[in-house]
């Protein structure tokens, strides 16, 4: 009886040692160089495509791709159309975890929602502007950092580039963006609905905004005023299924889809002439355990859902009435546990982030809208990758999810 107990104790000790070593490695990655912004050290080149050349990024509608998490990784499309890693940082030190990211409409400024987590970097959350240099490196403007009263969850800008919206555990904080890149708190600083916001999206015409509230099972609906402020629609919110996470808008401005992770479904809404939502039925259901992320192609004809528990990305065709029908095959293979799925600005490529294994899976979108894994299919990311943004510096076009 003693031998099995000893073996169990030894096994438990090995697990504790391995976990401690991994945690210490993450700590060292974040804080080993206090005078430098070690953003690029987490990325790795995917190298050239294999001879069958399934994915070549020469036709990509972006030049730079940034992934945030415990650090920031950067990738660029080289002259051969290959996606390779690049050194992101120019100078500075953020000393925090990056939980949210957005890019200004000029493509000149990146905004980071920062949460301090490491020893020596105590304090509250902040919004940190970073200037995007011509070569794709970023330069944190530490003097322009502004306090953020809540924990950042998501970020987006309005269509005019005048405003920045930060979804937090306390609601949506709104900022006016100055020509110098600084985010100035608006009055009021907090948009209507003070219960937390998981995701904020803007309608294609720039006149309306919608935000999910995970705990309250709501979608908030707003008007976007001329100065970028969010004002409440009547009613302020629409009930959803349990666990609303990400919301996506039909590129033509007809529908809103809300991924409800606990209901394992997608709620479907019609956008009225005044921007208010009307629930449509039935919802898209039977998604399987823990659907976590939703992406829609720029033409509004296809949708993709990351399934964290099932190591796959679901694929759908979007019908004229906004409903989803399964593609054939219904799923594309994932790697590890895909938690975030995004499309490039032209909808030619898909990217799935795996927070557990710190990798990004690459896909090409074929003519029928289904996903083909890239070759090679995975590249390294920052630890616990959370979000990505695309920038075409040549034309100054930023794209968030």
Rounded CA-CA distance 400/303 in Å is 16
Higher-confidence residue of 142 and 285: namely 142
What local confidence, expressed as pLDDT, does residue 173 receive?
96
First-residue to last-residue Cα distance in the chain? 56
57 or 15, greater pLDDT: 57
Mean pLDDT of all residues in 304-322: 89
Distance CA 186, CA 34 (A): 33
Q: Decide: 361 and 371 in contact? Cβ < 8 Å.
A: no
| pLDDT of amino acid 376 | 66
Q: Lowest mean pLDDT of 8-22, 170-184, 212-226, name the range.
A: 8-22
Give CB contacts under 8 A, 24+ apart, made by 286-293. Answer: 287/314, 288/264, 288/314, 289/264, 290/261, 290/264, 291/259, 291/261, 291/264, 292/245, 292/259, 292/261, 292/338, 292/339, 292/340, 293/245, 293/246, 293/259, 293/338, 293/339, 293/340, 293/341, 293/342
The structure's pTM equals 0.83
What does the pLDDT read at residue 290? 77
Would you say residue 396 has pLDDT above 60? no
> Over the chain, what is the mean pLDDT?
80
Q: Is the pLDDT of residue 33 over 60?
A: no
Confidence of residue 262 (pLDDT cuts 50, 70, 90): confident
Most confident stretch, 51-65, 116-130, 254-268? 254-268
Mean pLDDT score, 153-180: 93
pLDDT digits (tens, 9 = 90+) for 271-285: 999 999 999 988 776
Comparison of pLDDT for 381 and 6, the residue scoring more: 381
Residue 21 has pLDDT above 50, yes or no: no
What is the pLDDT, as a whole number, of residue 387? 93
Q: What tens digit of pLDDT does each residue of 200-217 get?
A: 999 999 999 999 998 899
2.130.10.10, 2.40.110.10, 3.40.190.10, 3.40.50.970: which CATH number matches 37-399?
Answer: 2.130.10.10
Residue 322: pLDDT over 80 = yes
Q: Is residue 325 over pLDDT 60?
A: yes
Cα(185)–Cα(173) distance, integer angstroms: 8
Domains of the chain, by residue range, sit at 1-32, 37-399
Top pLDDT among 56 and 90 is at: 56
106 vs 53, which has greater pLDDT?
106
93 has a pLDDT exceeding 80: no
Q: Out of 9-13, 371-375, 394-398, pick the least confident.
A: 394-398
Q: Which two tokens stand for residue 63?
A: 């030049």
């Amino acid at each position: 009886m003693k031998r099995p107990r000893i073996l169990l104790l030894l096994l438990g000790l090995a697990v504790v040692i391995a976990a401690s070593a991994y945690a210490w490695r993450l700590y060292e990655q974040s804080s080993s160089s206090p005078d430098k912004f070690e953003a690029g050290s987490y990325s790795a080149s995917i190298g050239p495509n294999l001879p069958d050349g399934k994915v070549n990024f020469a036709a990509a509608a972006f030049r730079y791709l940034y992934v945030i998490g415990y650090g920031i990784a950067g990738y660029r499309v080289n002259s051969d159309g290959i996606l390779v890693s690049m050194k992101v940082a120019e100078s500075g030190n953020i000393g925090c975890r990056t939980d949210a990211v957005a890019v200004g409409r000029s493509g000149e400024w990146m905004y980071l929602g920062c949460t301090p987590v490491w020893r020596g970097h105590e304090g509250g959350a902040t919004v940190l502007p970073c200037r995007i240099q011509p070569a794709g490196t970023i330069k944190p403007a530490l003097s322009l950092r502004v306090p953020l009263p809540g924990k950042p969850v998501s970020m987006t800008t309005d269509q005019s580039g005048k405003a920045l919206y930060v979804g937090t555990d306390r609601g949506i904080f709104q900022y006016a963006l100055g020509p110098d890149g600084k985010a100035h708190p608006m009055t009021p600083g907090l948009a209507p609905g003070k219960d937390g916001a998981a995701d904020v999206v803007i309608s294609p015409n720039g006149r309306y905004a919608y935000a999910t509230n995970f705990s309250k099972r709501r979608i908030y609906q707003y008007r976007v005023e001329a100065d970028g402020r969010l004002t409440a629609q009547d009613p302020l919110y629409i009930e959803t299924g349990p666990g609303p996470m990400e919301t996506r808008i039909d590129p033509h401005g007809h529908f809103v889809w809300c991924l409800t992770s606990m209901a394992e479904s997608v709620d479907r809404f019609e956008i009225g002439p005044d921007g208010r939502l009307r629930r449509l039925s039935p919802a898209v259901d039977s998604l399987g355990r823990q659907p976590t992320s939703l992406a829609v192609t720029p033409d509004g004809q296809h949708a993709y859902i990351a399934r964290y528990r099932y190591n796959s990305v679901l694929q759908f065709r979007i019908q004229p009435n906004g409903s989803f029908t399964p593609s054939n095959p219904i799923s594309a293979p994932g790697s590890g546990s895909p938690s975030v799925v995004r499309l490039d600005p032209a909808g030619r490529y898909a990217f799935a982030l795996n927070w557990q294994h710190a990798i990004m899976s690459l896909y090409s979108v074929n003519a029928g809208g289904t996903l083909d894994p890239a070759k090679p299919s995975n590249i390294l990311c920052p630890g616990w990758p959370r979000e990505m943004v695309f920038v075409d510096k040549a034309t100054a076009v930023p794209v968030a999810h």
